[in-house]
Structure formats: C-alpha cells, structure tokens
Structure 1
Amino acid sequence: MSSKALLKAQSRQESGSGVARRLRSAGKVPGVIYGANREPQMLQLDKSELSQLFRHHTSDQVLVDVAIDDRPAVTAVLKEVQRHPYRPLFVHVDLHEVSMTEVLRATVQVTAVGTPVGVTTQGGILEQPLFEIEIECQAQALPESFPVDVSGLSIGDTLAVADLKVSDEIRILTEPEIALFHVVAPRKVAEAEEAEGAEAGTATDAQ
C-alpha cells in the first residue's frame, strides 16, 4: 500500500495563464481536483510541500490526503503532475479524489534492483525496454513502483511482465509476454565476432 502524505490546498476562482504565472511567482502551484462524486474544483497548492513530497516518492502517481481550505482531508491520487521542461518548476497538478476501496486503473513504474551477474562477470549490458506497466486495483493497494531484482540475469536472459510478483489485490493489464529487462552482449563484441565470421567465410570461398 502506498504511504499517504498530507497536502494543504486553497480553493481559487480565477483561471488563465496570467493567473497561473502569478501563482507560480508567489510559490504556489495551480491545480484541480475532480472525482466521480464531486464537481471539478480549482485549487492552489504550496510548491514547497510538493517538492518535499517528491523528495520521498519516485513516482508522480502518489496517494495523498488533501485538506482544502482547512476542511477535513479527502483522499486523492496525484493523477498528473506537469513540470517545466528545463526549469525546476511545477506547472500544474491534477488530483483525482477516490475512496480507498475504489478500483483504479493506473500506470506504475518498474525499477531495477541490483546488478545482473551478466553485467558484473560476463561483460553484458542491462536493457529495459519497458519502464511502466498498467494495472488495476483498489486505491488502498496502489503501489508507487514495482522494484524487480535483476541480479540473477545472465547474458541472454529476459524478465517479462509475466515474471512480476504482485499481490492478489493487483491485476496487471499490460501484455504478459512484453519484456521488462534483458541482458545482452556488448554490441561492439557482437559486431567484431560477426566481422570475423564474414572474413573467415570470404577466405574459405577464396580457397
């Protein structure tokens, strides 16, 4: 289950790019909260609170408690966090209010843990073709990420979506045969071997 942090927010009435710029200049981040049982509501959040939150979470999709205008907090998922492309600024935040038993579809990061034996002792390269998978679960079971132990992989080995170990509360929607990690031989070595093979074949033909 994801840990929950508390975010304090204030409702706002004004919108538009000029308003958003003024908010960001004042250390605030424009946002919106919506859900199945509420009308969308424009908010402003504190930039420092968001920065603190992401110092402890690697994923944008975090389960949080949101207290709006000092009212009792509601549970929400940070659905989308827009960032400036090259400056350390939050541009906009979308929050989706949920109940803890509500079933959600979410995209969750997959991260490698450890170093494959195929890299440390065989000189291979670890590749990760897929960095996120789609899942379905109740909000209370939403994971922040899926750490995967890759230390046992040798050159030629692959870990696919089907190899993920998840709780019974989580249903994986991504196709099971898609590769998450594999260890490959260094390309330069492979290319050199192919070149040597081609030269040997040419020499044999000449004889």
Structure 2
Amino acid sequence: MAKQVKLIARPRTESGRNSVKTVRARGAVPAVIYGARTTPSNLEVTRRDIEVILSHSVGENILVDLEIQDGSKVTNQLTLIQEVQHHPIRRQILHVDFHAVSMTDKINAEISVEPFGESDGVKNFGGLLEQNMRSVSISCLPQNLPELIKVDISAMKVGDSLHVRDLVLPEGVEVNDDADLTVFIVAEPKVVEATPASGAAKAPEVIKEKKVEAAAKK
C-alpha cells in the first residue's frame, strides 16, 4: 500500500511570478491544495521535507497528512500528491499539487506497472519483452492505494501477451482501463536476412550484355 507520511505546510499569501521566486529563494516550494470539499488554497512546504518524502517513495502517489500551520491555528488534512513539477534540466522540485481526500471516498490514480522475473520466451528462445503500458488507471479507497503494481512475467512464452484483465490487483483496487488492452507481450526474435555481396560480380555481366548489344547493331 502507498505510504502515509506527515508534512508541515504554511499558507502562501503572496501571488504572482515574483512571489514564487521569493518562496523558492527561502528554501520552500510553492504548493496548492484543492478537493471536492476543500477551498483551493496556496501553500508552501519546506523543500528539504518534500524532497525526502519523494526520494523514499517508489512513485509519486503518496498519501500525505498535511499539517497546515497558520499562526496559532493548525489544521490537518489527508491529501494525495496529485502532481509534482520539476525543472526540466536541474530536476529540482518547482511546485506540488495536493488533492484533499477522505478515507471514505474512492480516489482515482495512475499507478506504475513493473515486471519482475525473467520471461521463459526471452530467456530460452530469444524473444523480446515489450511493455505497451507503463501505468494503469485505478480506483480505490485511500487506505488501499498501491505504490505500484508488480507483474510476474516468468511464465510468458514467445507470442504470449498479458492484458489489463490479467493483472493481479490488491484487495479493494479496481482498474479503470479497458480490460482488453495489452500490457506486456513477448515478441518473436527478429531475424535479419543476410544480403549477398554480389554487386561486384554483376558488373561484368552488365558490361558484357552492352557489348553484345553493340555488336548486334553493327
């Protein structure tokens, strides 16, 4: 199941591009919280804290007990990290979206699919494992949210395919994607036909034919 961690956040009163730079300059990351029963609010979290949380997680589907400290007022809200924006080059965290959730309401999330084991078709017959889907859309209660879905591919032979309907899911988890979509397939090994190096041998034949044709014209 997905980890549930605690994180302190504070209201972010500034707005605009310059204010975001100010937030980042003091070692914080701009964030926002929203949800069906939650008024959208601008927040900030300590950069080091969110980096530690993400570095210790398999994916970014993390349940966060967000403690919002507004002066003497403290509010706790269970959230799901909905999106993390990274700098395209330096990869530092630029912004985080928190989706407020309830333990009694189902949520939707994209969960990574990861193979384990070595396919029989790949190991013994030179097949090629192809992964057509890197993630699947699932629905479940927050407490049942998986970090990822692992798939045992060891029994797959050349020509075998594994579909969404074949995934073994944790209890309480449903897949939203089409059951017939292919997740993995073991393709036949590619055979490269040898090209005969006969270009040089054909040249004299062409020249000879031209000579015969020229003689006939005489």
For the aligned pair, the TM-score class normalised by the smaller chain equals 0.7 to 0.9
Instruction: Give the counterpart of 2:103 among 79, 82, 100.
Output: 100
Please say if 1:26 is aligned against 2:29.
no
Q: Supply the distance in 2 between the matched residues of 1:26 and 1:175 (Cα, whole angstroms).
A: 46
Write the mapping of 1:103-182 to structure 2, written as runs, cut at 5 A. 103-182=106-185
- Structure number with larger C-alpha Rg: 2
Aligned length: 193
Q: Structure 1 length as normaliser, TM-score?
A: 0.86
Write the mapping of 1:7-26 to structure 2, written as runs, cut at 5 A. 7-26=7-26
Residue aligned with 2:104, SS: coil
Shift of 1:192: 2.8
User: Does the aligned pair in 2 maintain the 1:63–1:76 contact within 8 Å?
Assistant: yes
User: Does the aligned pair in 2 maintain the 1:83–1:92 contact within 8 Å?
Assistant: yes
- Residue aligning to 2:209: none
- Residue aligning to 1:44: 44
User: Does the aligned pair in 1 maintain the 2:160–2:186 contact within 8 Å?
Assistant: yes
Shift of 1:150: 1.2
User: Does the aligned pair in 1 maintain the 2:130–2:187 contact within 8 Å?
Assistant: yes
Shift of 1:101: 1.4
Shift of 1:114: 2.0
Residue aligned with 2:193, SS: helix
Structure 1 counterpart of 2:193, one-letter code: A
Instruction: Give the counterpart of 1:76 among 79, 90, 94.
Output: 79
Shift of 1:168: 4.3
- Residue aligning to 2:62: 62
Structure 1 counterpart of 2:160, one-letter code: D
Q: Structure 2 length as normaliser, TM-score?
A: 0.82
State the identity %.
35
- Residue aligning to 2:216: none
- Residue aligning to 1:184: 187
User: Does the aligned pair in 2 maintain the 1:119–1:154 contact within 8 Å?
Assistant: yes
Shift of 1:149: 1.1
Deviations 1:38-96 (A, max 9, x none): 21111111111121112221212211111111725321000111111121211111101
Structure 1 counterpart of 2:28, one-letter code: K
Distance 1:26 1:186, change over 3 A: farther
The unaligned stretches of length 5 or more in structure 2 are: 197-218
Structure 1 counterpart of 2:19, one-letter code: V
RMSD of the alignment, in Å?
1.9
Deviations 1:139-191 (A, max 9, x none): 1211121111112212211111000111441221100111111111233x2x4
Shift of 1:120: 2.0
Q: Supply the distance in 2 between the matched residues of 1:117 and 1:25 (Cα, whole angstroms).
A: 53
Shift of 1:130: 0.6
Shift of 1:24: 2.1
Residue aligned with 1:119, SS: helix
Please say if 1:5 is aligned against 2:8.
no
Q: Supply the distance in 2 between the matched residues of 1:61 and 1:15 (Cα, whole angstroms).
A: 27
